[in-house]
Amino acid sequence: MKILVCISNVPDTTTKINFSDDKKSFVSAGVQFIINPYDEIALTRALELTEAQSGTVTVLNVGDASTEPTIRKALAIGATDSVRINALPRDAYFVAKQVAAYAAGQGFDLILTGRESIDYNGSQVAAMIGELLDIPSVSIVKSLNVENGNAILEREIEGGKEVLNCPLPLVASATEGMAEPRIPNMRGIMSARTKPLAVVEAVAVPEMQAYISYDKPAPRSQVKLVSNDDVKNLVTLLHAEAKVI
Amino acid sequence: MSVLVYAENSGGKFKKSTFETISYGYAIAQQLGTELSLISVGEVSREELERTAQYGVSKILTVSGDQLKNFVNMAYASVIASAASSENATVVVMAASFTGKGLAPRLAVKLEAGLVDGAISLPDTSHGFVVRKGAFSGKAFADVSLTSAIKIITLVPNSYQVNDNPKPVNIEDYKPSIKDTDFRAMVKEIVRAADKVSLPEAEIVVSGGRGLKGPENWGMIEELANLLGAATACSKPVSDAHWRPHSEHVGQTGIAVSPNLYIAIGISGAIQHLAGVSSSKTIVVINKDPEAPFFKSADYGIVGDAFEIVPKLIEAVKEFKAVHA
């Protein structure tokens, strides 16, 4: 089985987010970058599937040279080889176009992404790749199995799940439950240094949107503490003051 | 020119989030000086379709048939794209539901449209077309300018009010052609817990953390949630330890929620958890540690042991309901 896993390079989950004074850009100085956590779940599942049935896992990132440590981390976790599309990931459509241009005609059985990146939260790339390649896409998948060229997937729905059957090839975006991420071992880290990392130039994509400014949520006013002897008062406040019950 | 709403149904019924998208679509149509059309796919009764007229819809296109009974991503995207063309839609709106999130991007490619997933308020159309959405998983907001001829927006549940705007409505059986190859990923089974409130759409959420000490102690969380008509949720350590399913994990790498009321019990308030709940209107924190960081991001707090406070809270809610029933 031949699998392509798309990874994005995002600020670590513990990062305090800051923007430039004109609010137009994210300040990345001093920020630790990691593999997007949902992409790491997808990568782990891809490795499990190829270990069980043989095959290769290629990781792809759209980014400038600064993302290479993140790509090497994915190789250390166990990916076979890697590709970096040499461009800043302007928006989801741009990224999907790059992935589709790279993947077209290469015979990938599965293309996996995370359900969304934890920075811009687009949650669009997987389904866009599917549409661009005219193959099915299943978004927000918590279980993925492959048998005889056919995938059985469970996707999250409100209040439950949907079980789907789909012939390969297909695109799926991963959420928690699909796999438990792995910590790379020393052998993986050593071998990652010499695994292939191809750099490919980007294709041109028309621009249809732009992030023009950012804001942070307003801080909440001082917490109102209710005595633990007077829990009833909390219910009164939620009803009469907050008006939420 | 028109605004088109895709009205998602669940088992033939429209949910509150669907009516929110209709109200939102109507407000955009008003802004643009045009009318609101609606496309429904699947088995939805005429009576149910007519309910949407209450919120500003002027025209309904309805598509049904055995093959479309369950959600089929590619086929639904084709149907909505056809409807957008025949209605000459310049804006298409749908819910940022699990289904909408998989559908809107395919539609965006088909229509060569810019897409904002997860809008939280009406677009600003005074200079161009700018949509506000959450970014950095609840730690920030971003304003996105859409410059394409057709724009697509998915709307976060609980972020826009349902408003009455009754209109005479015209219902049309719509019969677009759909390719056979659109029917590849097919639903085998749908599993839904009948009595559970769905977390992303819930108006009240009762959430438990490691302070509850083990999965056997979730009975009181569920009891409180039932009394309040709330969904249950949990922190990441709780789902990582498999005390609760991943689908209940609220936070930066789980579900982001925006309920009217979020009650956090035994959750310290790590930055990753706060990110997922920052859009909640009112936050209540119950924690025995007065230094828990969550108190700094809460509206109301009780310092005390969950095993003592929650049973008292359950009694207080019962008394409240007896009076306000």
Only one residue has tokens 């669009």, namely A124
User: Tokens for A206?
Assistant: 């028309």
Task: Determine the Cα–Cα distance for residues B63 and B51; give it in Å rounded to an integer.
Answer: 17
Task: Determine the Cα–Cα distance for residues B6 and B174; give it in Å rounded to an integer.
Answer: 14
C-beta atoms of B253 and A226 within 8 A: no
pLDDT at site B212: 97
pLDDT at site B217: 97
Task: Determine the Cα–Cα distance for residues B102 and A53; give it in Å rounded to an integer.
Answer: 28
pLDDT at site B306: 97
Q: Is the peptide bond before A169 cis (omega within 30 degrees of 0)?
A: yes
Buried b (16+ CB within 10 A) or exposed e, A209-219: bebebbebeee
First to last CA, chain B: 47
Residue B196 pLDDT class (50, 70, 90 cuts): confident
Task: Determine the Cα–Cα distance for residues A5 and A13; give it in Å rounded to an integer.
Answer: 21
B-proximal residues of A, 182-221, CB under 8 Å? 206-217, 220-221
Q: What is the mean pLDDT of each run of 10 residues along chain A (245 residues)?
A: 98 95 95 98 98 95 98 98 97 98 97 96 96 98 96 95 98 97 94 97 97 94 95 96 95
Task: Determine the Cα–Cα distance for residues B284 and B295; give it in Å rounded to an integer.
Answer: 8
**Amino acid identity, position B110:** K
With 0-12 / 13-18 / 19 or more C-beta atoms within 10 angstroms meaning exposed / middle / buried, residue B210 is middle
In sequence order, what DSSP letters do the residues of B155-173 get, joined into one string?
E-TTSS---------EEEE
B-proximal residues of A, 127-186, CB under 8 Å? 127-128, 130-132, 134-140, 142, 152-153, 155-167, 170, 173, 175-177
**How close, in Å, is residue A147 to chain B by CA atoms?**
15
pLDDT in tens, B80-128: 999 999 999 999 999 999 999 999 999 999 999 999 999 999 999 998 9
Give strand pairing partners of B37.
B4, B59
Q: Within 10 Å of residue A94's Cβ, how many Cβ atoms?
A: 23
Residue B193 pLDDT class (50, 70, 90 cuts): confident
pLDDT at site B325: 75
Q: pTM of the full predicted structure?
A: 0.96
C-beta atoms of B317 and A235 within 8 A: yes
Handedness of CA B197, B201, B207, B210 (dihedral sign): positive
pLDDT in tens, B221-244: 999 999 999 999 999 999 999 999
Give strand pairing partners of A156.
A161
With 0-12 / 13-18 / 19 or more C-beta atoms within 10 angstroms meaning exposed / middle / buried, residue B227 is middle
Measured between beta carbons, the chain B residues lying within 8 angstroms of A125 are 105
- What is the residue-averaged pLDDT of chain B? 96
pLDDT at site B195: 75
Mean pLDDT within B253-266: 96
Measured between beta carbons, the chain B residues lying within 8 angstroms of A152 are 188
The answer for residues whose C-beta is within 8 angstroms of residue B47's C-beta and 6 or more apart is: none
Residue B3 pLDDT class (50, 70, 90 cuts): very high
**How close, in Å, is residue A156 to chain B by CA atoms?**
7
pLDDT at site A30: 93
Question: Tell me, what's the ipTM?
Answer: 0.96
Measured between beta carbons, the chain A residues lying within 8 angstroms of B198 are 158-159
Q: Nearest 10 degrees: CA dihedral of B290, B291, B294, B295? A: 50
Nearest CA among B295, B289, B288 for reference residue B274: B295
Question: What is the largest distance, in Å, between two alpha-carbon atoms of chain B?
Answer: 62
pLDDT in tens, A170-188: 999 999 999 999 999 999 9
Task: Determine the Cα–Cα distance for residues B224 and B230; give it in Å rounded to an integer.
Answer: 8
**Amino acid identity, position A114:** G
